[in-house]
Amino acid sequence: MFTKLFNSSVKLNIILIISFSISVNSFTLFPNVNNAFYVLFHLTFIYLIFYHYHYYLYVVALVYGVLFDILLLNYVGTHLITFLSLLIFFVLLKKYLIRLSSYQIIFIYFITLIAFLLFEQILANLINNYKFNLSLIFNFFLISLIIFIPTVFLFTKLDK
């Protein structure tokens, strides 16, 4: 009964909630923990879109987009636009993505993650006039390199 209740989609959503909660509560001693969970949130969200696409993800994108924007930037915009545009892009490109091999998909997955994080910084600069933080982008890139493979491995295990 529990295995049916806790299918991989539900487990991934629990990971989303946990990573969201940790990334919006700063720990002064471990600032990289916040960044790591922020990247993990993005990784999980992209994974959900790629492998568990469903219409409820639009609601998820709306809720998390608004909350991330208000808690991290104080104005709605950056995250909401990024999350929704990723969903729309996926729907438009789905027919091409299906044809790709698993290695190509993994590569696209990583590129999407980096582009996603970079796009958010650019949007924050354009919409909210926040200064473009190159060191933060570099930090996100390093964290992505470190956690990408283990996370994908964990997610595929969850799916099995």
Partner 1 sequence: MAPKFQIKVFQISSFVKNFTIISIVTLSFLLVFFSKSDLYLINGIKNISSSVIIPITRVISAPLNVFSNFVDEYNKFTSLKFENKLLQEEIIRLKKWQTLAIQNSRENKVLKKLLNATDNNLSLVKTASLINRNDTIYTKLINLNAGYEDKIKKNMSAINERGLVGKVIDTTSNNSRVILLTDPNLSISVKSISDDIFSLLTGNGDGKYLVSSFVKENKMPRLGDIVVTSGTAQIFPVDLLVGKVAKVEKNRFFVLPFVDFENIDYLQIVTSK
Positions touching partner 1 (CB under 8 A) are 17-18, 20-31, 33-35, 38, 55, 58-59, 61-62, 65-67, 69-77, 80-81, 84, 88, 124, 127, 129-131, 133, 135-136
**CA distance to 46, 71, 89, 158, per residue, from 111 (Å):** 11, 26, 14, 22
Q: Which is nearer to partner 1, 7 or 156 (CB)?
A: 7
Closest CA to 140 of 28, 48, 29, 40: 40
**Token reading at 122:** 């650019």
Using an 8 Å Cβ cutoff, are 78 and 127 in contact?
yes
CB of 76 to partner 1, least distance (A): 4
73 vs 105, beta carbon nearer partner 1: 73
Nearer to partner 1, 56 or 107 (CB): 56
Closer residue to partner 1, CB minimum distance, 102 or 135: 135
Task: State the CB neighbour count (10 A cutoff) for residue 32.
Answer: 11
φ, ψ (nearest 5 deg) of residue 25: -115, 105
Distance, in Å, from the CA atom of 22 to the CA atom of 27, rounded to the nearest integer, reads 9
